[in-house]
Structure 1
Amino acid sequence: MSQDESTAMENSLPESAQRVADLLRTLGHRPPVVRLPASGRTSAEAAAGLGCSVAEIAKSIVFRQLADDTAVMVVASGAYRVDEGRVAALVGPLGKADAAFVREHTGYAIGGVCPLGHPRSTIVLVDRLLLAFDRIWAAAGHPHCVFSLSPQELLAMTGGQVVDVAEVPAAGHLPA
């Protein structure tokens, strides 16, 4: 994709996704924000739109730390459920993060929460299973927009801590 094509595509992004594109550019991240043809609110929808496996989708789940109302974001493979008990064992008691809390703390609406660029301090935990992939896809601030990066770039951009919080099937097989 030429620089002109990339710039034209980014100029047609929704405002929240444009903020992410600008932040990524400031960080020196080259791959552009991609607008999906349909919704990417769920990992399955995003994977279908990208033609990748659900496991390669880096979903962002936000919890509310009860001790001080800090947002706790878990970035995990879209193929697995996050074990809230494991997260609480790492950061303390958790509460539900409703839509208003998520927007206030991350700057994004549920369904398009980007793992970076939050207006308030956020604890970021990255599930270890994401490290198995060369490239992953994360929400770019809007339910129809995503961007690709490596797990190492995700850790560097977010300051995230690698943890084991996914519910892995008993056989321990990774989904395709």
Structure 2
Amino acid sequence: MNTMNETLDALPDSARRVALLLQERGHTKPIVMLAETGKTSAEAAAGLGCSVAQIAKSILFRRKKDDAPVLVIASGVNRVDEKKVAERVGELARADAKFVREKTGYAIGGVCPIGHATPPLTLIDEDLLALDSLWAAAGHPHAVFNLTPLELVALTGAPVADVALRETA
């Protein structure tokens, strides 16, 4: 049987940092390393055997007025409606890979909901609250962790909002 330290030592540095942060916050579920990348919601869901909706994807934007990071944690099946997010936090711009790495400390595809270099303004997709179980990135494109929607809200302290793009007929 692996000890907790042996398990942590096997993780990439960024995922180990997330595991320790989760431990500090009382989250007891382990980090899971996917054999294939979890860079997209569909890839992560396939690797986990769950629905794409259960992937809590982290999407980072840059707020135009002050370059503040804005993190939207959305259901894997939803596209984020940037207008809805902008109404809550201000005008948005795209965040390139350099901005994501600088502001979060994580590479694209591994952005965790917590433990950012610069604490972001965060919104949680209200559609996630209808699910029993979620999977979120754990600091590395192959690393994920399981949690409930209420645990996500508690870990981030973020408000729940309607952020999904709804197609109108």
If the length of structure 1 is used for normalisation, what is the TM-score?
0.91
Write the distance in 2 (CA, Å) between the matches of 1:7 and 1:53: 31
Where 2:132 maps in the other structure, the secondary structure is: coil
Question: What is the one-letter code of the residue matched to 1:163?
Answer: A
Residue of structure 1 aligned with 2:110, choices 109, 112, 134: 112
Question: Runs of 5+ in structure 2 lacking a partner?
Answer: none
Give the aligned partner of residue 32 of structure 2: 34
Q: Report the Cα offset of residue 10 of structure 1.
A: 2.8
Task: Indicate conservation of the 8 Å contact 1:6/1:32, yes or no.
Answer: no
Q: Report the Cα offset of residue 119 of structure 1.
A: 1.6
**What's the Cα RMSD here?**
1.4
Where 1:142 maps in the other structure, the secondary structure is: coil
If the length of structure 2 is used for normalisation, what is the TM-score?
0.95
Give the aligned partner of residue 167 of structure 1: 165
Task: Indicate conservation of the 8 Å contact 1:10/1:32, yes or no.
Answer: no
Give the aligned partner of residue 100 of structure 1: 98
Task: Indicate conservation of the 8 Å contact 1:20/1:140, yes or no.
Answer: yes
Write the distance in 2 (CA, Å) between the matches of 1:168 and 1:58: 18
Write the distance in 2 (CA, Å) between the matches of 1:163 and 1:60: 14
Q: Report the Cα offset of residue 33 of structure 1.
A: 0.4
Write the distance in 1 (CA, Å) between the matches of 2:167 and 2:132: 23
Q: Report the Cα offset of residue 6 of structure 1.
A: 5.2
Write the distance in 2 (CA, Å) between the matches of 1:93 and 1:170: 23
Q: Report the Cα offset of residue 9 of structure 1.
A: 3.2
Residue of structure 1 aligned with 2:55, choices 50, 54, 57: 57
Question: Runs of 5+ in structure 1 lacking a partner?
Answer: 172-176
Give the aligned partner of residue 174 of structure 1: none
Write the distance in 1 (CA, Å) between the matches of 2:43 and 2:167: 22
Where 2:109 maps in the other structure, the secondary structure is: coil
Superposed counterparts of 1:21-170, under 5 Å: 21-169=19-167
Where 2:139 maps in the other structure, the secondary structure is: strand
Write the distance in 2 (CA, Å) between the matches of 1:89 and 1:135: 29
Q: Report the Cα offset of residue 5 of structure 1.
A: 5.7
